[in-house]
């Protein structure tokens, strides 16, 4: 196998929970060395204790976000721990954290704190609300951000209670944004010889993902609202439809798909009706069109609809549960499931990164289970030139945690 593209990148990460570890895990799968700093005074990453599937010092939640990383126990608030941290910074391309926005200054992990140690260091902080603004000192979590950014007002059926998205998409998208920011800043630092800060936030991520409905609102006064059966705000039909035994999604994102759909439905007259001739017409008359379509789809099973829809190349899919998605032949063919051994959980099956570099069908790099807390402490310190005497002294000081 050829070298992975980020094998020459080292990131020291003070990360916890979901968003930060999710972002760095993609970089690890691309070959970056992620040295995960875990505070021994609090039991390391809080993700190790997330129920319901836990083992001593570990959990399946933690395994989901921390494959292919190294774990070093280190209390960077102690003088001894600070010295080790600086030695790590000298060898690293970046320091990454996802902590409350006031904590990086307290811990001394901003660029101004570390530029004398390593002028090229990139200091990326993924926080709830960013380093500036009236909410900057507040803790930020996915649910909180979905509420503040308007997502919960748009999700679910009209008239229902506020709903979050199923997966924690603000956290995960925030991780992706942090990973992109890190790579851009590392590239710039290598080019220019000077590092920088990256002030990335979950709030910015969530608001920016309002995307075109946000543009419509800001520019044209559009008022986004919930739609029945997850309907698209302007493309009709593009939504979930109920069949006799379940649900399917059908989407007409191009006029040709609408024409084909009317043939599948045995209703070519709908395509000829001037009320439904174009995107704009169908959107204007959606309250007349959709009841007819819904009644038609309720006459057959999901499978009976999917066969002719697939044959006509109309975008469609059954609405599946998680088990159905994870056992789909396409999931298997795309090699999206990683399996690693674990002493307590047995074989742990987790989902691999969607990030890929290489030709179609290329073999994936082998993956390692998320590390035991502190599993790599001695190895990493020896690579820094520390001998056994110094490591023992650090452990006695409490900087590496107590045995």
Cis peptide before 379 (omega within 30 of 0): no
- Count other Cβ atoms within 10 Å, centred on residue 53: 14
Catalytic residue among 171, 199, 204, 376: 171
Q: Report the interhelical angle of 388-397 vs 79-91 (nearest 10°).
A: 130
Which tokens hold the place of 361?
Answer: 């069908």
Whether residue 171 lies in the annotated active site: yes
The tokens 């209390």 sit on which residue? 75
Which tokens hold the place of 377?
Answer: 């402490």
**What is the dihedral sign for C-alpha 128, 131, 132, 138?**
positive
**Rounded distance between C-alpha atoms, residue 106 and residue 94, angstroms:** 18
Catalogue the long-range contacts made by 107-116 (C-beta closer than 8 Å, 24 or more residues apart). Answer: 107/14, 107/76, 107/77, 108/76, 108/82, 109/14, 109/76, 110/197, 111/195, 111/196, 111/197, 114/86, 114/89, 114/195, 115/195
Query: Which amino acids are annotated catalytic?
Result: 171
């Amino acid at each position: 196998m050829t070298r992975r593209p980020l094998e020459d990148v080292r990131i020291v990460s003070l990360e916890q929970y979901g968003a930060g570890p999710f972002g760095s895990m993609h970089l690890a799968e691309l070959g970056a060395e992620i040295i995960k700093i875990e505070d021994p005074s609090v039991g390391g990453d809080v993700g190790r204790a997330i129920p319901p599937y836990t083992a001593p010092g570990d959990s399946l939640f933690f395994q989901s976000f921390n494959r292919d990383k190294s774990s070093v126990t280190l209390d960077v608030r102690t003088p001894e721990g600070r010295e080790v941290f600086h030695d790590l910074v000298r060898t690293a391309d970046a320091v990454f954290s996802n902590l409350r926005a006031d904590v990086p200054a307290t811990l001394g992990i901003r660029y101004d704190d570390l530029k004398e140690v390593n002028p090229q260091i990139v200091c990326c902080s993924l926080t709830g609300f960013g380093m500036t603004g009236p909410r900057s000192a507040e803790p930020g979590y996915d649910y909180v951000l979905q509420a503040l950014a308007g997502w919960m007002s748009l999700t679910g059926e009209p008239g229902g209670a506020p709903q979050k998205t199923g997966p924690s998409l603000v956290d995960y998208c925030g991780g992706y944004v942090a990973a992109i920011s890190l790579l851009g800043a590392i590239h710039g630092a290598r080019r220019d010889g000077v590092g920088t800060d990256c002030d990335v936030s979950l709030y910015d991520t969530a608001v920016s993902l309002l995307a075109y409905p946000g543009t419509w609102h800001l520019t044209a006064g559009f008022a986004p609202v919930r739609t029945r059966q997850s309907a698209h705000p302007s493309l009709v039909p593009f939504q979930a439809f109920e069949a006799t035994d379940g649900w399917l999604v059908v989407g007409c994102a191009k006029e040709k798909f609408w024409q084909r759909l009317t043939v599948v439905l045995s209703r070519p007259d709908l395509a000829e009706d001037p009320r439904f001739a174009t995107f704009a017409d169908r959107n204007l008359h959606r309250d007349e069109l959709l009841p007819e379509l819904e009644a038609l789809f309720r006459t057959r099973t999901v499978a009976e609809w999917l066969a002719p829809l697939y044959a006509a190349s109309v975008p469609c899919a059954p609405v599946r549960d998680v088990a159905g998605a994870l056992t789909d032949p396409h999931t298997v063919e795309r090699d999206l499931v990683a399996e690693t051994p674990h002493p307590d959980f047995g074989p742990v099956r987790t989902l691999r990164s969607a990030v890929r570099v290489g030709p179609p069908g290329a073999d994936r790099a082998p993956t390692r289970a998320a590390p035991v807390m502190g599993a790599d402490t001695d190895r990493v310190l020896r690579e820094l030139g520390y001998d056994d005497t110094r490591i023992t002294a650090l452990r006695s000081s409490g900087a590496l945690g107590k045995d």
